[in-house]
């Protein structure tokens, strides 16, 4: 304990002094992107300024209000959850509809599958995506296959699992992972990652009302940093449809979640430094993914860069790259490039070097232009 105090004090002094060695090496937490409010509202009408966790809370509130069978549960959910996404819902709808569970992810998933099989709407929360793996068997071998194995007699279409994922600035190896690729390998599931408060509300409502079990991974760094005007009324956004955020004709930049904002900055830098127009696409749905939009863009720009926070090997970017090169090979001027996390556990103090930031992505832009 004494050693820890000394180390912490020395690190604090180092960071506070202008000559500290870490000052010029490690950027401030959460500074690897600049959030851009979503102004493309899906419906007209009254709006309210909300951050992402408030927009998610609003979607869950609408679900409980409009669907009498809906129940929401998970670790600390009754108290509002670690990130406050369920704040106030137990008081409003009762502890029989919004409640805590034991610290057992496998049990949470198994219970959710049973609830959905019996015809009720189940919205389960895994407190962190890093801890979803004890529930992997239940999700992959039960929820995803229930309709098929029962010949349509049962299904888990009313099941949605929410979970905070991706980097947060200080989460290290057990609170920063991006597990979307594991589940994208499983027919029968849908996997969705929102980029903003507006998208989170509409996509979550679509997942909850979809006829297939859905995994909804929420970039936790955006819970409070994604703030914008969100429509108050009920609305849904399509699953399996990518969003073209910036049109261009030189390079296609594909990402999802927080990485979308990195790419928007990269597109701006690429225009300034190389005078090229990048097309930026938010994939939105990992499974199913929008093949039409991606292929059309690849054929137009002839160069594609894919970026995600998960490690390189077998990350979902590999599936995109393979599919693009199979479908668009004769149109491409260069191989598909990937800028990702490294094939290591997610680090703590070295997180700024692990994340595929705008400088790593810009370096890929230069390389693909000079290929």
Active site residues: 105, 175
User: Which strands, in side-by-side order, build the sheet including 243-246?
Assistant: 243-246, 278-282, 251-255, 304-311, 337-341
Cα(256)–Cα(281) distance, integer angstroms: 8
Report the 10 Å Cβ neighbour count for 292: 11
Question: What's the full length of the chain, in residues?
Answer: 371
Decide: helix, strand or coil at residue 200: helix
C-beta of residue 210 within 8 angstroms of C-beta of residue 161: no
**C-beta separation of 239 from 290 below 8 A:** no
DSSP string, 70-133: -EEEETTGGGT-TTSTTTTHHHHH-TTTEEE--S-HHHHHHHHHHHHHTT--EEEE-S-GGG-G
Give the residue among 174, 186, 211 at the shortest CA–CA distance from 347: 174
72, β-bridge pairs = 98, 123
Rounded Cα–Cα distance for residues 319 and 269 (Å): 27
Cis ω for the linkage preceding 100 (within 30 of 0): no
């Amino acid at each position: 304990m004494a050693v820890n105090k000394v180390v912490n004090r020395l690190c604090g002094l180092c960071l506070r002094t202008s000559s500290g060695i870490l000052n010029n090496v490690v950027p401030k937490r959460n500074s690897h992107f600049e959030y851009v409010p979503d102004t493309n509202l899906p419906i007209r009408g009254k709006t309210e300024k909300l951050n992402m966790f408030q927009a998610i809370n609003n979607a869950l509130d609408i679900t409980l209000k409009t669907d009498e069978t809906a129940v929401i549960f998970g670790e600390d959910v009754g108290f509002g959850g670690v990130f406050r996404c369920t704040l106030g819902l137990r008081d409003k709808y009762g502890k029989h509809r919004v409640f805590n569970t034991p610290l057992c992810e496998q049990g949470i998933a198994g219970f959710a599958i049973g609830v959905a099989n019996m015809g009720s709407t189940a919205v389960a929360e895994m407190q962190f995506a890093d801890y979803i793996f004890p529930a992997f068997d239940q999700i992959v071998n039960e929820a995803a296959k229930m309709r098929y194995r029962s010949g349509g007699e049962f299904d888990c279409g009313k099941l949605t699992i929410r979970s905070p994922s991706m980097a947060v600035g200080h989460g290290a190896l057990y609170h920063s992972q991006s597990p979307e690729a594991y589940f994208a390998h499983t027919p029968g599931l849908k996997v969705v990652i929102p980029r903003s408060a507006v998208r989170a509300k509409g996509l979550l409502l679509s997942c909850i009302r979809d006829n297939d079990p859905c995994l909804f991974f929420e970039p936790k760094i955006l819970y409070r940093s994604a703030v914008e005007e969100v429509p108050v009324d009920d609305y849904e956004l399509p699953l399996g449809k990518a969003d073209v955020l910036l049109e261009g004709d030189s390079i296609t930049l594909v990402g999802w979640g927080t990485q979308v904002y990195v790419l928007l900055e990269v597109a701006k830098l690429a225009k300034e430094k190389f005078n090229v127009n990048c097309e930026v696409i938010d994939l939105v749905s990992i499974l199913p993914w929008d093949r039409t939009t991606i292929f059309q863009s690849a054929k137009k720009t002839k160069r594609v860069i894919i970026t995600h926070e998960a490690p390189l090997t077998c990350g979902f970017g590999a599936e995109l790259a393979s599919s693009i090169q199979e479908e668009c090979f004769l149109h491409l001027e260069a191989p598909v490039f990937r800028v990702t996390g490294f094939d290591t556990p997610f680090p703590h103090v070295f997180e700024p070097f692990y994340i595929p930031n705008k400088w790593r992505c810009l370096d890929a832009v230069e390389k693909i232009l000079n290929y």
